[in-house]
């Protein structure tokens, strides 16, 4: 029963996200959410197609950059996630979340020494 509910919920979520993107194909938040849904469903190619498009449309939107960074981290692409988080820091250098997440990525890559240049 639970599997049926989860499967149905995923289909409904995708239906709504697709419809939202039909209305506004430039909705970076729609692309971000659909990308995360695709990733959760195991469709990595379609996930990163949406996530990359969202960053292409809004390269300085911190929500989009962090969203792709998190997806890259889920896929153990820590160096690429670090690039997105560094871009976040360039846009908003006083946002602690980006430093915290980037620190997590460095730790995942085994880079534990402090960087004075930030």
Which residues lie below 8 Å from residue 46, measured CB to CB, with a gap of 6+?
35, 38
* pLDDT tens, residue by residue, 32-49: 999 999 999 999 999 999
pLDDT of 8 reads 61
From CA 75, how far away is CA 34, in angstroms rounded?
16
The pTM of this model reads 0.85
Superfamily of 1-58 according to CATH: Tetratricopeptide repeat domain (1.25.40.10)
3-state secondary structure of 75: coil
3-state secondary structure of 40: helix
Contact by Cβ (8 Å): 72, 44 = no
The phi, psi pair for 64, rounded to 5°, reads -75, -45
* pLDDT tens, residue by residue, 66-105: 999 999 999 999 999 999 999 999 999 999 999 999 999 9
């Amino acid at each position: 029963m639970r599997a049926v509910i989860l499967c149905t919920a995923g289909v409904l979520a995708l239906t709504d996200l697709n419809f939202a993107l039909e209305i506004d194909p430039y909705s970076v938040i729609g692309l971000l959410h659909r990308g995360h849904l695709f990733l959760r469903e195991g469709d990595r190619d379609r996930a990163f197609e949406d996530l990359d498009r969202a960053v292409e449309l809004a390269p300085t939107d911190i929500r989009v950059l962090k969203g792709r960074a998190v997806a890259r981290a889920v896929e153990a692409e820590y160096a690429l996630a670090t690039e997105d988080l560094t871009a976040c820091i360039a846009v908003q250098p006083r946002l602690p979340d980006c430093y915290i997440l980037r620190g997590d990525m460095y730790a995942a890559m085994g880079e534990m020494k402090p960087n004075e240049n930030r």
